[in-house]
A and B are shown apart, each in its own frame.
Chain A
Amino acid sequence: MTASGTAGLDHLALFYRGNQEYLAGVGGYILEGLASGEPVAVAVPGPRLELLRSGLPAEAVQQVAWTNMAVAGRNPGRIIHRVLLAAVKRQPSRRTYVVGEPIWPGRSDLEYPACAAHEALINDALADHYCRILCPYDAIGLSATVIADAEQTHPVLVDNGVTWQSPEYDPAAVEHFNRPLPEPPPEAVTMSFSRIAELAPLRTFVGRRAAAAGLPLKNVHELVVAVNELATNTLEHTGDGGSVAMWTESGMLVVQVHDTGHITDRLAGRTLPVRLDERGRGLFLVNMVCDLVRLHTAPTGTTLRLHLAL
């Protein structure tokens, strides 16, 4: 079915209960795409990937591009670029069928708001692309709140073979997940900055603390680049300085950058500008190298919290 006309994006949430419904709903969608001769890309967590591969005919399995969402989409902030746009751009003139499952019962409370914000942003990020994106939701394993959120972030819902327009759909739903973050713990180390000349000492500070926390060297370099991008944005766009706080929490290194700016383009960092000019890449780079990025932005200030697994 086409929910929004003959071109553009269809973004559907599919609610399933158990493997049978998963195979019937998601498997059926995949077969429908293949039968129409369209490209099909499936990005779901590992166990779901196995379920589909073993449940579908071998020749169908061969024609699908498979991605483990638990790896590629570990940071939900990079799914739009790495998974969805990558799939759609492979054959831009075709109507790509995508399955994207960014939310599953193993997602932590820390991750969830970023995942839900990602779902909301798909509607804008892919509005001009000719594709269908089906997002399976485990109606048994996920909470009622998560299911209710899915009804707000998806214009179209599918359950047990029935498809309907979501009465709860809210094009501005991303704001619901723009929530204040808890204060950093008292043991956090901090450094503030207000001048360009302080970028270099800030990089040294972040690099040393990250290495001391046990972050692998490759990730230390990436984190230093990421924090430098955020601090650069602060100096370029706010006219004020900012502050960086670092601590470890549940096996992760956390780096928070706070400033007085307000990010009004909610798609910032989700896609890569086509032209090779310098602007608009900072948040994108941050998303590419972090395992999770939490954001709270308001006219009074912006807090970005970067998480990297130790």
Chain B
Amino acid sequence: MHPSTATQLRPGDHVCWVFDNDNGCLDDIARLVRSGIEAHHRILCLTQAVMPVAVAAALESVDVATGPALDRGQLRITTAAETYLRHGAFDPGTALAAWREGIEQAHREGYRGLLVIADMMWAARPIFGPDRLARYEAQLSRLCADGYATAVCLYDRRVFTGSELHETSKAHLATVPPGGHATFTVRLRIVRTTDPVGIRLTGEADLATRLAVRAVLDGALEDLPFGEPVTVDLTELRFADGATATALARLAQALPAGSRLVGASASLTSLLRLVCDGMVPGLDLDGPVLEGAA
């Protein structure tokens, strides 16, 4: 793994990490774990293809001091059978509840973040299905949008089909293809903010992150404090496609009184007007308004 991937990840990121080589994958995990330990994050490794002891040994082999981290509970290495699949078949609701619990616990114990590295091998069982998997991953993006948890989902290209990866990658905020670490950049960040209460989008929102963005925006009213005016900060959103603009317009339509969309570029303002045909009540576009926009 190129160091750039590990150094670029921030709390709130949710990465679809595609690999096609076991050794390379272990190496990737090791680097990520080391940076997590240094950043004082709780780290949870969920492994499937490889036994937990093998993961620990691999980490040791690249000079990650797993012993102390394991002893103090900062690092946990476990299997899908003990977590996701503890009750037999995978249930997205139970898994997401476990995520929330894990986030709260790490908070309570004083960690600055929660890093989860999950081998998604278990999801390759045909009983689960690509749509259901993508819906689960999109909800995970929504959980990460608090800006505390980082989720790295490892997908083995030898196990998942191209169309499965195509679908599930859209539910993440970034996708690393095999061997793509040298050129990896996080293209989009979407986080909920507390001051002001709202959501901030940074980067470029296109098909690559469509399901993740939809889940965070559609869930915003439920995830933000009830009834408070919401500020949707678009200042750093450099590109939004039609679907993103539509999701923003849909959110704007449902926001409490006094809410605002701020910082939209002239071109995004014009796109928002186009997708909703100027029909969305309460869409207060507090940004540069394009001359001659419809």
- Which of A's residues lie within 8 Å of B, judged by CB? 196-197, 199-200, 203, 218, 221-222, 224-225, 228-229, 232, 235-236, 239, 272, 276-279, 281-282, 284-285, 288-289
Asked if A278 meets B208 with Cβ closer than 8 Å, knowing A218-B267, A221-B267, A222-B267, the reply is no
A279 to B249: give the CA distance in the assembly, Å.
14
Q: Are A276 and B249 in contact (CB under 8 A)?
A: yes
Q: Give the distance to chain B from A145, nearest Cβ to Cβ, in Å.
A: 34
Q: Which of B32-40, B57-65, B190-198, B238-246 contacts A (4 or more CB under 8 A)?
A: B238-246
Q: A282-B242, A285-B274 are in contact. Are A228 and B206 (CB under 8 A)?
A: yes
> Which 3 A-B residue pairings sit nearest by Cβ, starting from the closest?
A221-B267, A278-B243, A276-B250
| A200 partner residues in chain B, CB cutoff 8 A | 187, 204, 206, 208, 239
Q: Are B242 and A196 interface neighbours, CB within 8 A?
A: no
Beta-carbon nearest neighbor of A232 in chain B: B207
Query: Which residues does chain B contribute within 8 Å of A279, judged by CB atoms?
Result: 243
Verify A229–B241 contact, CB threshold 8 A.
yes
Decide: B242 and A199 in contact? CB cutoff 8 A: no
- Asked whether B170 is an interface residue with its Cβ less than 8 Å from the other chain, the reply is yes
Residues of B within 8 A of A284 (CB): 274
In the bound complex, do residue A272 and residue B208 qualify as a contact, i.e. CB atoms below 8 Å apart?
no
Quick check: B274 and A229 within 8 Å, CB to CB? no
Contact of B177 among A197, A221, A222, A285 (CB under 8 A): A197
Q: How far is the CB of A278 from chain B (nearest CB, A)?
A: 4
Check: B175 CB closer than 8 A to any chain A CB.
yes
* Nearest-neighbor residue (CB-CB) of A207 within chain B: B239
B266 CB-CB contact with A under 8 Å = yes
Bound complex: CA A150 to CA B283 (Å)? 42
A72 nearest CB across to chain B (Å): 11
Chain B residues with CB under 8 Å of A218's CB are 266-267, 290
Residue B14 lies at the interface, judged by CB distance under 8 Å to chain A: no
Q: How far is the CA of A224 from the CA of B241 in the complex (A)?
A: 9
Question: B271 contacts the other chain (Cβ, under 8 Å)?
Answer: yes
B204 engages A229 (CB within 8 Å) = no
Chosen A-B contacts, 27 in total, with CB atoms closer than 8 Å, are A196-B170, A196-B175, A199-B206, A199-B207, A200-B208, A222-B270, A224-B239, A225-B241, A225-B267, A228-B239, A228-B241, A229-B241, A232-B206, A232-B207, A235-B166, A235-B207, A272-B275, A276-B249, A276-B253, A277-B246, A277-B250, A278-B214, A278-B246, A279-B243, A282-B242, A284-B274, A288-B294
